[in-house]
Amino acid sequence: MSTQVYVAGVGSTKFGVLPGRTLQSLAVEAGRAALRDSNIAPARIGCVFVGNFVGGIMTGQELLGPIVAADLGLSNVAAIKIEAACASSSAAVRIGHDLVRAGAEDAVLVIGVERLTGAPRDALTTAMTAAIDQATEGQAGLTFPGFWGMVMARHTHLYGTTREQIAAVTVKNRQFGAINPLAQFQKPVALEEVIASPPISDPIRRYDCCPATDGAAALVLANESLVRQSGSPAVRIAASVLVNGPPRITDYAEITIHDGSVLAAKRAYETAGVGPDDIDLAELHDCFSIAEIVDSEDLGFFAKGEGGPAVVRTPSANSKVVINPSGGLLSKGHPTGATGCGQIYEVVMQLRGEHPNQIGKARLGLTHNGGGTAAAVTVHILEAVR
C-alpha cells in the first residue's frame, strides 16, 4: 500500500564562495533548518541520504552519511551518501520518496552538499570530468564546457539559434538571481558582456557557464499522517522520476535532443497526470546557457528549435511557465551535489508563497536536474497543498 509523499520542510545555506566551511558544517546547517521547518521530531526520521558528487576528490572526505547524521544528533538511522554527479541529491530524493511512498519509512532527511571553490581551475575541471567516461571521451580531453560547446554549435547549425538568444538566458537568470538572497551572483549582466566574455570551449564563453559554488540544501520528506500531525506547510510530490540517458556524447543519436530529459519528463507528466502547459514554474538544469534552451525543449515547454526565440519573447507570448526564477545554476550557483535539493527548495518556497522573488500564486512547479552528459536525469513535479 502506498501513501502520498510530501516535502514537509526545507532548509538551505547561502550558495556562493564560502571559505572556511566544511562539507559537514554546510550539510548540518541545511539539515537543521529543514528539520526545524518541518516541525517533525528528529526521532521520526528513519534515514538520512546525503547527495554529494566530488567531496572525496575536492576535500578528501567520504562517508558523509554517518558523519552528517551524527553531527545532526540523528542516531540509529540508516545514513548513506548517494552519487549521481550533478544529480546526486535529486537522485537521493527519488530514493527517499520511494521509501516513504512504500511505507518503509514515515520520514527521511535528504541533504545535498558540495564544496567546489578554493581549488585551482585545472583541479576543479579534472574533478568535474570524473563524470565523463575516462576510458573513451576523457582520454580525448572532453570537458563539460566542451560537451555543451558541441551542443551549442549544433543547435545553432540545425535550428538557427542565435548568439544573442543564448546570451539572453544568462541575462534573464542574472536578473532573477539579483533578487534571490541565496544566489551567488546578485548583479545583473548585459548581453554585450556575455557575448564579449572570454572563450572557454568555443562557442561557450565564460558568462555562458555556471560558477563553481559551495553550499547545501536539505528536505524532509514525510507521509501524509506525519505531515498532518506536524502542521507543517507541506508541498506534495506529484512525481519523482530518475532515469538514465546516454553516458557518452557518442551514444547520442542527436546531441541537441537529450533522451534522458525527454523520458524523465514524459514519465513525470504521466505520473502527475499533467502536461507542460500546466506547470507554473520550472527550475531547469542551466549549467550552461544553451542547456536551459535544450532543456526547455526536451521538457515540452517549447518545440525543438523554439527554445532560443522563446527566451527573448515576453513570457506571456509563448508559455505561462516561468523558468529559473531562482536565478538558476547560472546565477544562484551550482554546488553540484546540492543542486537538486536546492532546486526543490526553490520550488517549494514558491508554492508556499514565501519566496523573495515570488512569481505570483503558483500551483505546480517542476525541477529538472542532470548528471554527467544528461546521463542521470531527475524530474520532480511538486504541487501546492492549500
Partner 1 sequence: MTLEGRVQSHTIIRVPDKAHAAAAPFVLVLVELTDGKRVLGHFNRAEPPAIGSRVTAEPSEQTPVFREEAT
Q: Bin 274: left if φ > 0, else alpha if -120 < ψ < 50, else beta.
A: beta
CA distances from 317 to 191, 243, 321 (A): 21, 32, 11
Query: Long-range contacts made by residues 228-231, C-beta under 8 angstroms, separation at least 24?
Result: 230/8, 230/38, 230/39, 230/40, 231/39
Helix (H, G, I), strand (E, B) or coil at 51: strand
Taking the least distance from each CB to partner 1, the nearer of 1 and 253 is 253
**Binding-site ranges for partner 1 (CB under 8 A):** 121-123, 125-126, 129, 136-143, 145-146, 149-151, 153-154, 157, 199-204, 249-252, 255
Mode of pairing for the β-strands spanning 45-51 and 107-114:
parallel
Cβ nearer to partner 1, comparing 147 with 345? 147
Q: Are strands 322-323 and 281-283 parallel, antiparallel or unpaired?
A: parallel
Whole-number Å distance between alpha carbons of 360 and 173: 18
DSSP lists the bridge partners of residue 243 as: 377
Closer to partner 1 by CB, 24 or 129: give it: 129
Nearer to partner 1, 130 or 359 (CB): 130
Which residues in 124-136 are b (16+ Cβ under 10 Å) and which e? beebbbebbbeee
- The one catalytic residue in 334, 355, 368, 380 is 334
47 an active-site residue? no
* Distance in angstroms (rounded) separating the CA atoms of residues 162 and 166: 6
Distance in Å, CB of 295 to partner 1, minimum = 18
Least distance from C-beta 213 to partner 1, angstroms? 17
CB of 299 to partner 1, least distance (A): 22
Angle at 297 between CA 214 and CA 335, to 5 degrees: 5
The residues, ordered by sequence, that sit 6+ positions from 20 with a Cβ below 8 Å of its Cβ are none
Determine which one of 47, 86, 209, 210 is catalytic.
86
Do 209 and 121 touch, CB atoms closer than 8 A?
no
Q: Other C-beta atoms within 10 Å of 62: how many?
A: 12
Q: Rounded to the nearest whole angstrom, what is the least distance from the CB of residue 79 to partner 1 in the complex?
A: 32
Task: Tell me if residue 210 is catalytic.
Answer: no
Query: Rounded to the nearest whole angstrom, what is the least distance from the CB of residue 210 to partner 1 in the complex?
Result: 14
Shortest Å distance, C-beta 364 to partner 1: 35
Which CB, 252 or 271, lies closer to partner 1? 252
Contact 263, 245 (CB under 8 A): yes
Considering the complex, state which of residue 255 and residue 284 has its C-beta at the smaller distance from partner 1. 255
Catalytic site positions: 86, 334
